[in-house]
Amino acid sequence: MTFHPIAGLFPEMDADAFGALKASISEHGVLVPALTCRGQILDGRHRDRACRELGIACPTIEWDGREPWLALQALNLRRRHLSAGQVAAIVEEARRRFPEVAALVDRARAEALARKAAGQRSGGRGRKKLAGSPAGKFSSDVIGESVGVSGRTVRLVEQVARQRPDLVTKVASGAIGIGRAVQLAERERSRRLRSEMIAALPDPSGDHGVLLGDFREVGRQVPDGSAALVFTDPPYDGDFADVAAVYRDLGRFAARVLAPGGSLVAYAWNTQLFDVQPLLADSLRFWWPCVAFHDGGVLHQARSHGVIVAHKPLLWFVKGDARTPGPYVADVARQRREKGLHPWQQGVGPARHFVEALTEPGDLVVDPFAGSGTTLVAAKELGRRWIGCEIDAETAKSARARVDGKAA
């Protein structure tokens, strides 16, 4: 005997539970017959399977109601081993996959909207409710009560269904909880809205995306709130007063061009970390310390401090209270030595690492100190838009050629 399609909405019994059921049937027989509907098992598929494995017949009774879903709702949705999120997700799955269930739910929603409109016309609070439901009940509350969950849980599942319908199936199966599904759905919504906002802004990068001049001047061409990431390696040699001015202005520049939740990731010299960090923190929120680790083990020797240097620090800041939701980011990136185009050229590995982790395809990546174009190359390879500022004409020319694929 085949199973009714609606029965497939409910998760499979785990091996231990099925073993216990099979042992009970072997000892006591089937205490509750399986429910069938037009020759298909509506409820009791595990009892039927256990009986088949034991070589005995499974007793059945025919469902005489018009809506098979109502039988399954009454028999299964109040099972103790199903979480509230699973129950609400199963109801949502049933609504999406079976027209007869959708008709029941949609009819309830239509009645709720009608009552809301009536309440507004009468000057009342107009809260949604279903026909025959207690006054003041939202439709989601009443639907939840009918299956033993809260209206809030029903609303959370509906939210997930609007943003990430694929996650509803995972909640229904028990693969993830409703809280995690809401988190993932909200992350997707935030990323989509940010990408749409950034893409709608004018793109100043042109063909090669390298602007010649001081970022404090030519960087004004970058629209406010247009960038998802500023990744850069500021000059940190020379008099610290000059270095401090650069980092302070970098923070202000990033705070202007970044979209809410966007990131600034900037290299800094080891001995200056605690000095430049507060300069950037004047404009952005410090998020995390990161490092670019040299694959060769030894990057160089800091003779003034007697240190063999094998990594370069990076400071990660965000615009606003938190970064745009996204995947976990490893705080260690790997690089190899690359100095063929510029004396202070950094390896492309860290740039690629953070561009990929902190942006989406089509997002704008900005490097105010483009140098040989390492950040821009990483952005191009990953399908992002890019713009860089470079104060030296020959270096800017080299960067343009490199981004265009005309330099090593």
pLDDT per position as a tens digit, 227-264: 999 999 998 876 888 899 999 999 999 999 999 999 99
Is domain 1-76 in CATH 3.90.1200, yes or no? no
Q: What is the pLDDT of residue 39?
A: 79
**Where do the domains of the chain lie?**
1-76, 82-200, 205-403
Chain mean position to CA 18? 36
Distant-in-sequence, close-in-space partners of 392: CB < 8 Å, separation ≥ 6: none
Nearest to 329 by CA among 349, 355, 364: 355
pTM: 0.58
Strand partners for 365: 229, 386
Question: What b-and-e string marks burial along 103-142, b requiring 16 or more CB atoms within 10 Å of the CB?
Answer: ebbeebeebbeebbeebeeeeeeeebbbeebeeebbbbbb
- Is the predicted pLDDT of residue 189 greater than 90, yes or no? no
Q: What's the pLDDT at 115? A: 64
Percentage of residues in the chain having pLDDT higher than 70: 75
Residue 75's pLDDT band (boundaries 50, 70, 90)?
Answer: low
Structure tokens at 37: 């509907």
Task: With beta carbons less than 8 A apart as the criterion, state whether 100 and 71 touch.
Answer: no
In the prediction, which pLDDT does 244 show?
92
pLDDT at 129 exceeding the cut of 70:
no
Contact 53, 25 (CB under 8 A): no
CA distance readout (Å), 288 to 9, 167, 255, 301:
43, 30, 17, 26
Contact, 85 vs 172, CB < 8 A? Answer: no
Q: Report residue 375 as tokens.
A: 């950040």
Q: Please give the average per-residue pLDDT across 168-195, as a whole number.
A: 82
pLDDT attached to residue 407: 52
Q: Residue 137 has what pLDDT?
A: 55
Q: At what angle do helices 84-97 and 178-200 cross, to 10 degrees?
A: 60
pLDDT of 405 strictly over 80 = no
pLDDT in tens, 285-300: 999 999 998 876 656 7
Eight-state DSSP code of residue 129: -
pLDDT at 64 (0 to 100): 67
Distances (CA, A) of 100 to 68, 76, 94, 106, 329: 9, 18, 9, 10, 45
Give the model confidence (pLDDT) of 349-362 as tens digits: 899 999 999 998 88
Helix (H, G, I), strand (E, B) or coil at 35: strand
Most confident of 118-122, 144-148, 376-380: 376-380
318-351: pLDDT as tens digits: 998 888 877 889 999 987 655 444 444 467 889 9
Section 28-47 average pLDDT:
82
Query: What pLDDT, on the 0 to 100 scale, is given for residue 322?
Result: 84
Query: Is the CB of residue 232 less than 8 Å from the CB of residue 257?
Result: no
Long-range Cβ contact pairs of 305-309 (< 8 A, separation 24 or more): 305/271, 307/270, 309/270
The pLDDT assigned to 134 comes to: 46
Q: Which residues pair with 290 in a beta bridge?
A: 314
For residues 214 and 234, give the distance between their C-alpha atoms in angstroms, rounded to a whole number: 12
pLDDT interval class at 133 (50, 70, 90) = very low
Q: Give me the mean pLDDT over the 182-192 stretch.
A: 79
Q: Considering all CA atoms of the chain, what is the largest pairwise distance in Å, rounded to the nearest integer?
A: 89
pLDDT at 368: 95
User: Is a pLDDT exceeding 60 seen at residue 163?
Assistant: yes
- Residue 369 above 70 pLDDT? yes
Bridge partner residues of 40 (DSSP): 37
CA distances from 104 to 74, 131, 152 (A): 15, 12, 20
Candidate CATH numbers 3.30.70.3290, 3.30.499.10, 3.30.70.870, 3.40.50.150; the one for domain 205-403 = 3.40.50.150
